[in-house]
Amino acid sequence: MIYAIPCINNAVSNHFSRCQQIVIFDSITQQMQYLSISQDESCCSAKKKWQQVITGYKVDIVVVRSIGKNMLKGLFQSKVKVLATKAKQDLHDINFAELIAVESLEYGRISPKRKACGKNNATLTLAPSQPNWRSIRRIRR
């Protein structure tokens, strides 16, 4: 089995797509390979990087701590098994037999910045879409 684990400083990362490195662990050969992710990448490009790693390394299982619903849905569609671990788990202390299998999208969190991905920019709901001083004056009265 080939595992992919998001990590920061040899511990499982709390955020799936915000990790500094991805560890590819082969359970047959017991070898770990570290893949670095540059910090200047946006969240969308980090997610694309994950998809490339999963297909390129033929990953069977992804170990996560926290993950968004959209990325979890993408993993399920890719037929990748997802296992959950506790926070700050050291990579060398992971017992894969004790990890909890994630089988539902309910485990994933809804992204608060979902509109900021792709070509869309995040907008505040209270701000008018175009500055119109007349509408602002009407609101103040």
pLDDT tens per residue, range 18-60: 888 999 999 999 999 999 877 655 556 667 888 889 999 999 9
Residue 73's nearest CA partner among 116, 108, 111, 113 is: 108
Mean pLDDT estimate for the chain: 80
Q: What CATH class does 2-112 carry? A: alpha beta
Q: What is the largest CA-CA distance in the chain?
A: 71
Domain edges within the chain: 2-112
Whole-model pTM: value is 0.74
